[in-house]
Structure 1
Amino acid sequence: MPDFKGLDLTGKTAIVTGASRGIGTAIAVQLGQRGANVVVNYTSSSSRQRAEDVVKRIEAAGSRAVICQASVANMSDIPKIVDTALQLSQTGKIDILIHNAALGVDANLDEVTEELFQSHFDTNVKGPIFLTQAIVPHIARGGRIVFLSSAAARLGVAGQTIYGATKAANESCARVWAKELGQSHGITVNCVNPGPVATDQWQESDEQFRQDMQPLIESTPAAARIAEVDDVAPLVAFLCTDDARWTTGSVLCANGGLYN
């Protein structure tokens, strides 16, 4: 009989920020299908029904899940996320933290405002830093932290001055934390870096931006298309497993080969 126990997440407690839509939903469901119990985080009241639907999909796979309305950009909301995970946990520990929630509004340099800068760095950088800080005392040895980065961190995509900078910051945090939290806490920290993905955010992006991206999409080595969420979620899930124990401080390609 084949033995895939190293990929099993049964009994683990996971937090997926921004889990009510897009890649976050796919990751939350993928973790649940592997046996993890999942905190499905969402921000706005309009996303509550989607979050509840994600919980139902996870429960249908035989795992437990609970919704948690909280913004990672709001420091007063962070304890709520941690407490929700601890209440869900069967061991009193948190095992997996997925930093998926992010803002990604396109703006050329001459359109960048202080408000745009602040909102993106609050959600994409400050939030993950302080949420991680709050969770480290509760995370089990062998714990996993994974960032959803982006090809924008390295490709230099026009219109992504702010977004690209926040994702480069995420990758830097992963490298630093891999050293800080490795031997001391037994935690691995990695990034997965999608390129364009068929999500609501992609569909809502500026038409000109999508046209400008078309030559890049057509040159994608794996296939001339944008990714689907199910191209990305299994890679995130793998980094959460025991089989990925010797991978840390890395950026895993999830962009069809646009860059490695």
Structure 2
Amino acid sequence: MTRDFAGKTAIVTGSARGIGAAIAIHLGQRGANVLVNYTSDRSKEAADQVGSKVSNSGARAAVIQADVSKSEGREAMVQRALELSGSERKIDILVHNAAVGDDCGLADLSDELYDRINDTNIKGVAFLTKAVLPHIARNGRIVLMSSIFARQGNPLTCLYSASKASLEAFARVWATELGQKYGVTVNCVNPGPVATDMWFSTDKELLDAMQPTIEATPAAPRVGEVEDIAPIVGFLCSEESRWVTGNVICANGGMLFH
């Protein structure tokens, strides 16, 4: 694998498991120094393993427990990433992967659930981006991880789906607002169902509702794998993607178009 990210520093939020872990490892294999982030104590061992894989690939890694929904967590991530970058004191890549969700219908919504989902999935993304901007490198890359749920009317997902649709709006607005001023590109990746812990913990009613669509997926009758997604994020972080910004890249095997 080419080492085209050598000397660059990346933050990947929510990178202890699943898609985030695969992205962190992929960027590390391409030479980037990666800040691996996790929130709960139960994810520490998994996050450490991701950091070890990055280090074993020849890049530098740092692992931090920090909650993107909290201002102190966001500031800690930025400062640790700057330390990781060494004398450069800059951040080249910011991948917003951390997210929370819950299988909940409209009739069962609560203020607590609303705040929990939006504080992580929307507020955390917006304010971490704001915190990174003073340190972002020219030709920097910002990638936001959306979801096919942002465009499909799946039951029991109204808050999660709305939060993911917000990220697609962020990408369009920030590409215009930040592009020339900071010399960055901003894009969104929209995966379909991916075989992660989060997917397998989904409510059975929702899984059953999705099954006919999964079986009809044009690329193959299956859910995605993390290895299907990470290289797409890698492309959006590369020099070759310099003319791609404000876009949503659909990484769902054609599911949206069926």
TM-score by length of 2: 0.97
Match 2:91 to one of 94, 100, 110: 94
The alpha carbon displacement at 1:129 in A equals 0.3
Q: Which amino acid aligns with 1:193?
A: N
TM-score by length of 1: 0.96
Partner SS state of residue 214, structure 2: helix
Q: Which amino acid aligns with 1:158?
A: P
Q: Which amino acid aligns with 1:208?
A: E
> Is 1:170 paired with 2:167?
yes
CA distance in 2, matches of 1:156, 1:89: 42
Whether the 8 Å contact between 2:100 and 2:117 is mirrored in structure 1 is yes
Q: Which amino acid aligns with 1:66?
A: A
Q: For residue 70 of structure 2, what is the aligned residue in structure 1? A: 74
CA distance in 2, matches of 1:27, 1:123: 19
Q: For residue 63 of structure 1, what is the aligned residue in structure 2? A: 59
Q: For residue 25 of structure 1, what is the aligned residue in structure 2? A: 21
CA distance in 2, matches of 1:209, 1:175: 29
The alpha carbon displacement at 1:75 in A equals 1.5
> Is 1:196 paired with 2:193?
yes
CA RMSD of aligned residues (A): 1.2
> Is 1:230 paired with 2:227?
yes
> Is 1:147 paired with 2:132?
no
Percent identity over the alignment?
Answer: 54
Q: For residue 177 of structure 2, what is the aligned residue in structure 1? A: 180
Whether the 8 Å contact between 2:154 and 2:206 is mirrored in structure 1 is no
Paired positions, count: 256
Partner SS state of residue 11, structure 2: strand
Whether the 8 Å contact between 2:191 and 2:250 is mirrored in structure 1 is yes
Q: For residue 212 of structure 2, what is the aligned residue in structure 1? A: 215
Give deviations 1:115-140, integer Å, cap 9, x for gaps: 11111000000001000000000000
The alpha carbon displacement at 1:85 in A equals 0.2
Segments of 5+ residues of structure 1 without an aligned counterpart are none
CA distance in 1, matches of 2:251, 2:179: 24
> Is 1:13 paired with 2:1?
no
Match 1:127 to one of 124, 131, 135: 124
